[in-house]
A = this chain, B = another copy of it.
């Protein structure tokens, strides 16, 4: 899941520019793929491989900036490098506030683009490795039975077994059993591990997506 070499996805309606960028990225050993429009990119089927997006601000159908803000809705979390031929400061500021990795005004030097893309890919790598840990824990959590999940949340919030038992209206011994199997299923060797996993779960549950 999510393996492979990083790929740069270039979306621009100007085919000559696409080819030039494609060549540029390949010249430094990066995989690259070009698309003439957002539609074409989305239809291409998103593989879950590391990489980043390089977008023109002005695109047929949908602007690069609008698309950038909608990425989340499409389940895409690639860092974005924006390019523009006719941009202004407010536009660049808006894009950066929206979380763009970089914003390049044409004409730009090859090296600027390569630096931006390298940083974007590195950021994606970081995001992925931390997301991997979270989703691993989340996946494990779903394998717990409802009771086990409840008990896990109670004990990691500092409740003693007997307190958790009281809250759930069951006996302490039953809590111990659920607690034990929760630990085993989550792969937590100690309570400290379990607390950290629970915090991870809470942090992702609260996050706005």
Contact = CB atoms under 8 A, between A and B. Distances in A.
A196 B157 CA distance: 10
A87 interface: yes
A92 B100 CA distance: 13
Contacts of A199: 196, 199
Nearest to A102: B93
A89 interface: yes
Interface string A168-204: 0000000000000000000001111101100100000
Interface in A65-120: 84, 87-90, 92-93, 96-97, 102-103, 105
Interface residues on A, range: 20 to 34
A27 B102 CA distance: 36
Nearest to A155: B192
A192 B96 contact: no
Given A192-B195, A195-B192, A195-B195, A93 B90 contact: no
A88 B89 CA distance: 6
A191 B156 CA distance: 9
A189 B157 CA distance: 11
A143 to B, nearest CB: 22
Given A158-B192, A195-B195, 13 more contacts: A84-B89, A88-B105, A92-B93, A93-B96, A96-B96, A96-B97, A155-B192, A156-B192, A157-B192, A191-B195, A192-B195, A195-B196, A196-B199
25 contacts: A87-B89, A88-B89, A88-B105, A89-B89, A89-B92, A89-B105, A90-B105, A92-B93, A92-B96, A93-B96, A93-B102, A93-B103, A155-B192, A156-B192, A157-B192, A158-B189, A158-B190, A158-B192, A158-B193, A191-B195, A192-B195, A195-B195, A195-B196, A196-B199, A199-B199
